[in-house]
Amino acid sequence: MDAEYLAERALAARANAFAPFSKFKVGAALETANGKTYTGCNVENATYGLTVCAERVALWKAISEGERKFTRLAVATSSPHPAPPCGACRQLLWEFCGDLEIVLVSAEGRRETRSLASLFPEPFDRTFL
């Protein structure tokens, strides 16, 4: 699967986002080592604290289906410039996926590809425990 296909899946997932408060819709598409794709969108709550990010929705869906090896993630946001995952998502992506390739897609179609390590240079993980 190529990055373009994954970006399109993230953009499609973004259409399902429930963001009545922030209006910041996000979609994600997570690619597994065996070529499957799991998508997610952000789901907001009035308290904001119970909101779930698109990246985590996609990750939880994949894990709940038994997936454990991941190769790439696409994140599509409603911002004019490509926006990276939040800190909480970076932490979870690092723990479950390692140094993942991340394709960032803006609402205006701009794309950037980054490594998770470049976005999260000094992660806390099990090596510290």
pLDDT at 107 (0 to 100): 85
User: Which of 55, 101, 112, 122 does the annotation list as catalytic?
Assistant: 55
Domain carrying residue 71: 3-120
Does residue 129 sit within a domain? no
What percentage of residues in the chain have a pLDDT greater than 70? 100
CATH of the domain at 31: 3.40.140.10
Is 116 domain-assigned? yes
Instruction: Answer yes or no: 55 catalytic.
Output: yes
Question: CA-CA distances (angstroms) from residue 2 to 18, 56, 78, 91?
Answer: 27, 22, 22, 25
Any domain includes 20: yes
- Tell me how far CA of residue 11 lies from CA of 80, 86, 105, 116, 123, in angstroms: 14, 18, 8, 20, 28
62 located within any domain: yes
* Number of domains composing the chain: 1
- How many angstroms separate the CA atoms of 27 and 102, rounded? 13
pLDDT, tens only, 74-119: 999 999 999 999 999 999 999 999 999 999 999 888 999 999 999 9
53 alpha-carbon distance from chain centroid: 8
Domain membership flag for residue 128: no
**What number is the average pLDDT over the span 9-13?**
97
Asked if the structure places residue 126 within a domain, the reply is no
DSSP state of 34: T
